[in-house]
Amino acid sequence: MTTEVKEKPEKTETKRPSKLRRFLYGLSWAAIWPIVIVVPSFVAMLVILAQVLTSLAKNPELGSAVTNTDGIFYLELYFFVFVTVLVLVLFLVKWLLRTRKHLFFRSGAKVLGVYIWVGIFATGLTMAFITKNPDAIKPPVTRDEHLVAVLQEVGGKTDLIENVSIQYANSFEGNFANDNTRGTYVPFTDSDGNFSYGTINVKSGLDAQTEKGVVAHEYLHHIWEAQLDDTTLHDLTSQLMTLYGKDTWMQSRTDFYSDTNYLLPTELFAFYCTEVGDSHLSQYVIDTCNKYINRSVLVFTRP
C-alpha cells in the first residue's frame, strides 16, 4: 500500500502594472474624455443657451428679464440644472468603468473623476462671473443677408447696427403688436441704462417697396435708441411733437400707438422720416432723417 503525496499547485504571482503603463493609460483618457464628453457637452450648453437668449430677444416682455435680477437667476438656474444632469450621467459612467477588470477602463474612471470636479469648479466660476457681469450675457447677432442688402439700399449703415440682429418673422407677439404689424425693433439696455443689443424683425412676404419702408422704419428706431445724443434727442422731440400736434393725418396714422400708450417720439421720428414728404416737415427733421437714411428710394404714404 502506497501513499501518494499530491504536490500543491504553485501560486500564480500577479504582477502589478508598471507606473509607465498607468501613466500612459491616464494620458490616453486625458485626451479621450475632452473629445468624447467635455467639448460636446460644452458646445451643447452654449447652443442651448444661445437659442434661449435668441428666443428671449424676440420677445420684449420676456427678453427684458435677461438684464434684471430675475433674468440672471434663471440663467444661473439653467447652468445649475444642465451641469447637475451632466454630472449625474458622468458619475454613472464613472461607476461602470470602475467595475471593469481591465486597468485601462479603471484608469478612465479616475481621470473622469478629475474632469467632473474641474467642471463643477468651472461652473461655479461662470455663475460668479455672470452675477458680477450680467451685461456680458448677450444673444448671438444673426442677420439675414437679403435684409442687410435692403438696409444698405435705403441708406442704412451696418456699422451702426453692430450689436443688432436683423431677421424675418412670420408673426409678432407682445403688447404693441397687432394684425397690421409689419416690423418691430426690440432694444435692451445694460445695468447702467445704456444700449446693449437689439433685434429688428421684419414680417416675411412683404413686397419689395413695403419692405424697404419697414426696414428703414425699424432702423431709425435703433438710431433713436443708440446713436442720437441728448441734445439732438431734445431738439428733435420738440419739433416732432410740434408737428404732431397740428397733424391730423399723423394722429390718425398712429392712433393704435396713442390708444395703447405706446406713442413715443421714436415712433414719430420713424413715421415722419419714412412716410411723409418734405413739404410737411421742418428742415431740422428733414436734415436729421437724411443723415441716416436715403429718403429718395422710399415711396411716401403722404407725399
**Per-residue pLDDT tens for 166-184?**
999 887 766 556 667 889 8
pLDDT of residue 256: 82
**Cβ-proximal residues to 275 (8 Å cutoff; 6+ apart), any chain:** 213, 253, 298, 300, 301, 302
Q: Is the pLDDT of residue 26 over 50?
A: yes
Which span out of 8-17, 55-64, 262-271 was modeled with the highest average pLDDT?
262-271
Q: In this structure, are residues 200 and 139 in contact, taking their beta carbons and an 8 Å threshold?
A: no
Which amino acid does the sequence have at 46?
Answer: L
pLDDT higher for 44 or 212?
212
In the DSSP assignment, the letter for residue 166 is E
**Cβ-proximal residues to 33 (8 Å cutoff; 6+ apart), any chain:** 108, 111, 112, 115
Q: Is the pLDDT of residue 271 over 90?
A: yes
Residue recorded with cell 433685434: 199
Q: Give the torsion sign (CA, 18, 22, 25, 28).
A: negative
Half-sphere exposure of 213 (CA within 13 A, CB side): 17
Per the structure block, which three cell numbers stand in for 173?
Answer: 407677439
Helix (H) or strand (E) holding 167: strand 164-169
In the DSSP assignment, the letter for residue 171 is -
The angle subtended at Cα 87 by Cα 25 and Cα 74, nearest 5°, is: 145
Query: How far apart, in Å, are the Cα atoms of 201 and each of 36, 148, 152, 275?
Result: 38, 12, 16, 19
Q: In this structure, are residues 77 and 90 in contact, taking their beta carbons and an 8 Å threshold?
A: no
| pTM exceeding 0.85 | no
How many Cβ atoms sit within 10 Å of the Cβ of residue 231? 8
Q: Is the pLDDT of residue 13 over 70?
A: no
Backbone angles phi, psi at 196, to 5 degrees: -110, -55
Q: β-strand 164-169 against 195-203: which pairing, if any?
A: parallel
pLDDT of residue 270: 96
What is the average pLDDT score of the chain? 82
| Mean pLDDT along residues 229-242 | 95
pLDDT of residue 251: 92
Q: Give the torsion sign (CA, 66, 228, 201, 149).
A: negative
